[in-house]
């Protein structure tokens, strides 16, 4: 589903590369934690998958497409097959929960009747039934992140990318979000999650890819956050 | 894609930075007014040239007391000169009749002039009015010829003034169009900045570049449309106040035509609209490159 072959990414010539000769292969339906300290290259890794960045060298393949030869007008199609969740939720503050989720479907041209059917379904899936008319600032952080997950998953993407989705949440709320991501993963969606949260990684016992200074230093099935923890 | 949501986003964008939007609309309007003014001047000059050059004649005035052979000689030279299409002889009596016709409101003047005081002349029509010099040099110097007068000389100075006006209007329009471009770019950018969350989400979930740009394009087009409408209105108002009002005498003799409202609205409106919309569309698309790059 996702394959990085000898990928190196340097932002400025001469500086230390953000990723160095990274080789990672992620199968369909896998749940992968991407761990490592700040600046280790986790975000660059995720941005490469969305073709927000191009690798300096090496090849990135996502859902059978070689991103290096993917023309720019096909990038929107690629992004429709990838859902994204971020630490800062990125909800639209002037839209209700329902409108936020519907927006993501409308702008990719989904017909109105489909949007009307999908939005309540996916809100129920993330456990927000009955809160569709709330504004984001009326919700707790955990609920806002559930809206973001609903938005990312509404189009049933093949891949869900989560960049520190629990970074702004307390441990109890984080567990709820992780259960949700786990449930999404069980529907067959490949999940790639960058995180700092050792407790979560340790409790989930999923595959762990650890980056350090841009290199993969560990790739372990059913791993834990780190040997030091 | 929903027309209503695109339209409402564009209107929201315009309201969000109302001052800048108004400035952009006004600048578009003023620049198009100047462009329209320049076009109107050109239209008037073209019509004037058509009307005057069509039966423009070179007049060859003859000396008093010339002999018949001398008179014949001029006619002969003329008939052998290239570009000469038609030669008409005008006697002193005919000249006097025409003089009376040209000054019907001035009986005192007519009373003081006799047919004898007016020169006899040849009126020459040229196939190509530009070739006046050929005719002039052919007959100049003949004993019978007193003076060769080309009406173009009078017209040229008039056209010179009109041409200067037109160039001034075009130059002003050019400066205004640059200002309009910058203002539209700025207006659209401010909107893009205030909507960067939305465009960010749109990019992320895979909206096409076209879909993301459309509301901004519509916003630019609304500016262009309003600006053009006001510009055409200003032109019409200018015609009413200036041409129909202060300069009305200029058109009374019927030689110079007063441009009509149809000329302004139907003749120039479409061009100005195309220009206004074109500028605003191109500008708003270019201004957005940074925000919609995939």
- Position A126 pLDDT exceeds 50: yes
pLDDT over 70 at A65, yes or no: yes
Looking at per-residue pLDDT, the higher value among B156 and A224 belongs to A224
Mean pLDDT of A61-69: 92
Per-residue pLDDT of A168-224, as tens digits, reads: 999 999 999 999 999 999 999 999 999 988 999 999 999 999 999 999 999 988 888
Q: CB–CB of A80/A160 below 8 Å?
A: no
State how far the Cα of A204 lies from the Cα of A199, in Å rounded to an integer. 9
Query: Which helix (H) or strand (E) segment is B43 a member of?
Result: helix B18-54
Nearest Cα residue to A51 out of A25, A28, A78, A27 = A78
Query: How near does any CA of chain A get to the CA of B204, in Å?
Result: 6
Q: By CB neighbour count within 10 A (0-12 exposed, 13-18 middle, 19+ buried), where does B15 fall?
A: exposed
Distance from CA of A185 to the nearest CA of B (A): 19
Per the prediction, chain B carries an average pLDDT of 82
- Chain B, 205 to 264: residues with Cβ < 8 Å from chain A are 205-209, 211-212
**Would you say A201 and A35 are in contact if contact means Cβ atoms under 8 Å apart?**
yes
265-294 of B, contacting A, C-beta below 8 A: 294
Cα A98 to chain centroid distance, Å, stands at 21
Residue B112: predicted pLDDT:
81
Beta-carbon separation of B204 and A50 below 8 A = yes
pLDDT tier for residue A142 given thresholds of 50, 70 and 90: very high
Most trustworthy range by pLDDT among A49-53, B106-110, B254-258: A49-53
The answer to whether residue A151 neighbours chain B at the CB level (below 8 Å) is yes
The confidence score (pLDDT) of residue B177 equals 85
- Name the least confident of A20-34, A74-88, B90-104: B90-104
CB contact, 8 Å: A160 with chain B? no
Pick from A50, A80, A104: CB nearest B201: A104
Chain B interface mutation, best of A76, A90, A162, highest count of B Cβ atoms under 10 Å: A76
How confident is the model over B8-15, as a mean pLDDT?
A: 76
Residue contact B206–A77, C-beta within 8 A? yes
Contact A108 B206 (CB under 8 A): yes
Q: Do A104 and B205 touch (CB under 8 A)?
A: yes
pLDDT of residue A229: 43
Contact yes or no for A180/A122 (Cβ under 8 A): no
A153-170 pLDDT tens trace: 999 999 999 999 999 999
Smallest CA–CA distance from A153 into chain B, residue: B205
Identify whether the C-beta of residue B57 lies closer than 8 Å to the C-beta of residue B151. Answer: yes
| Of B277 and B253, more confident | B277
Interface confidence, given as ipTM, is: 0.89
The span from the CA of B217 to the CA of B214, in Å, is 5
User: Which range is least confidently modeled, A54-58, A106-110, B34-38?
Assistant: B34-38
Query: Per-residue confidence at B77, pLDDT binned at 50, 70, 90?
Result: confident
Q: Which residue of A has its CA nearest to B198?
A: A92
Q: What are the helix (H) ranges across A81-154? A: 97-106, 112-125, 141-153
CB–CB of B207 and A76 under 8 A?
yes
Question: What is the model's pLDDT at position B54?
Answer: 61
B217-273 tens-digit pLDDT: 888 899 899 999 999 999 999 888 888 877 777 776 666 777 888 888 888 889 899
- Sign of dihedral through CA atoms A53, A54, A58, A64? positive
Q: Measure B3 CA to nearest chain A CA, in Å.
A: 12
Closest residue, chain A, to B206 (C-alpha): A76
B204 touching chain A per CB within 8 A: yes
Confidence of residue B211 (pLDDT cuts 50, 70, 90): confident
pLDDT at B1 over 60: no
Q: How many CB pairs under 8 A join A and B?
A: 55
Mean pLDDT throughout B19-27? Answer: 86
Average confidence (pLDDT) over B119-142: 80
B88–chain A Cβ distance below 8 A for any pair: no
B55 pLDDT tier (thresholds 50, 70, 90): low
C-alpha A64/C-alpha B256 separation (Å) is: 73
Q: Is the model's pLDDT at A225 over the cut of 60?
A: yes
Q: Are strands A31-35 and A207-212 parallel, antiparallel or unpaired?
A: parallel
Which pLDDT belongs to residue A161? 96
Model pLDDT, residue A135? 96
| Residues A90, B200: C-beta atoms closer than 8 Å | yes
Pairing of strands A2-9, A57-62: antiparallel
Q: Which pLDDT score, from 0 to 100, does residue A4 have? A: 95
Nearest chain A residue to B194 by CA distance is A92
User: Is the confidence at residue B294, as pLDDT, over 70?
Assistant: no
């Amino acid at each position: 589903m996702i394959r990085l072959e000898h990928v190196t990414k340097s932002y400025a010539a001469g500086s230390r590369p953000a990723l160095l000769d990274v080789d990672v292969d992620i199968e369909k339906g896998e749940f992968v934690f991407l761990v490592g300290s700040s600046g280790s290259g986790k975000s660059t890794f995720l941005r490469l998958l969305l073709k927000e960045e191009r690798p300096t060298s090496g090849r990135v393949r996502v859902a059978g497409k070689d991103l290096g030869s993917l023309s720019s007008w096909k990038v929107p199609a690629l992004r429709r097959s990838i859902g994204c969740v971020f630490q800062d939720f990125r909800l639209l503050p002037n839209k209700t929960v329902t409108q936020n989720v519907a927006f993501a479907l409308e702008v990719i041209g989904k017909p109105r009747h489909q949007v009307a059917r999908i939005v309540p379904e996916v809100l129920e899936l993330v456990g927000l039934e009955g809160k569709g008319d709330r504004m984001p600032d009326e919700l707790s952080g955990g609920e806002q992140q559930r809206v973001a997950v609903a938005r990312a998953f509404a189009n049933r993407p093949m891949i869900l990318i989560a960049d520190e989705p629990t970074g702004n949440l307390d441990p109890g709320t984080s567990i709820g979000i992780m259960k949700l991501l786990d449930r999404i993963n069980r529907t067959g969606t490949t999940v790639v999650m960058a995180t700092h949260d050792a407790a979560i990684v340790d409790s989930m016992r999923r595959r762990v890819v650890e980056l350090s200074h841009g290199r993969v230093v560990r790739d372990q099935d059913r791993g834990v956050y780190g040997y030091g923890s | 894609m929903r027309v209503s949501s695109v339209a409402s986003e564009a209107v929201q964008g315009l309201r969000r930075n109302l001052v800048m939007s108004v400035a952009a609309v006004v600048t578009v309007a003023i620049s198009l007014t100047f462009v329209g003014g320049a076009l109107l001047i050109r239209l008037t000059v073209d019509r004037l040239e058509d009307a005057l050059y069509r039966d423009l004649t070179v007049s060859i005035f003859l000396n008093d007391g010339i002999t018949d052979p001398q008179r014949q000689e001029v006619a002969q030279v003329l008939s052998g000169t290239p570009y000469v299409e038609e030669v008409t002889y005008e006697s002193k009596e005919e000249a006097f009749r025409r003089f009376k016709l040209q000054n019907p409101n001035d009986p005192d003047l007519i009373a003081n002039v006799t047919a004898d005081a007016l020169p006899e002349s040849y009126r020459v029509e040229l196939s190509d009015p530009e070739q006046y010099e050929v005719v002039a040099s052919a007959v100049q110097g003949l004993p019978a010829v007193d003076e060769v007068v080309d009406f173009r000389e009078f017209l040229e100075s008039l056209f010179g003034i009109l041409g200067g006006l037109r160039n001034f209007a075009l130059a002003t329009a050019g400066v205004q169009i640059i200002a309009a471009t910058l203002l539209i770019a700025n207006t659209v950018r401010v909107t893009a900045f205030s909507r960067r969350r939305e465009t960010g989400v749109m990019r992320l979930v895979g909206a096409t570049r076209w879909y993301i740009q459309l509301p901004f394009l519509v916003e630019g087009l609304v500016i262009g449309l309003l600006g053009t409408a006001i510009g055409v209105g200003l032109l019409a108002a200018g015609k009413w106040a200036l041409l129909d009002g202060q300069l009305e005498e200029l058109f009374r003799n019927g030689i110079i035509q007063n441009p009509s409202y149809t000329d302004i609205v139907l003749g120039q409106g479409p061009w100005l609209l195309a220009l206004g919309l074109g500028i605003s569309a191109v500008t708003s698309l270019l201004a957005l490159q940074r925000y919609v790059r995939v």
